[in-house]
Amino acid sequence: MKSEREKKGLAHFRGLTFQEQLNIVWQTGILLDTKRLPGFWLHLYAVNSFFVEMWICQRWLDVTLVRGFLDTEELKPYIDRISLDSLLIS
């Protein structure tokens, strides 16, 4: 179960404008993976206590969707491609 702090972080993120969400991802996000789907690049970021998928149109090179989530079940498409070791603070 996610803590209230984690839920508030994602709730706050979702309440931001699209541009503000992009700024948060670009300023504080840690890129975990990039993959290609027909017509899109998907970038997966760790941002604070949640994850963000950024969908980028390959034709126009525009970010068309920013999707934040907490549920680690949604990481399944990435699990064999990413190393969460990069998130550990030494």
Q: Mind listing the pLDDT tens digit for each residue in 55-87? A: 999 999 999 999 999 998 998 888 888 776 655
CATH ID of 4-87, from 3.30.1460, 3.30.67, 3.40.50, 3.30.70: 3.30.67
H helix count then E strand count, the chain: 2, 4
pTM for this one? 0.82
The three-class DSSP label of residue 3 is coil
Tell me what pLDDT residue 90 has. Answer: 41
Segment 16-70, tens digit of pLDDT? 999 999 999 999 999 999 999 999 999 999 998 899 999 999 999 999 999 999 9
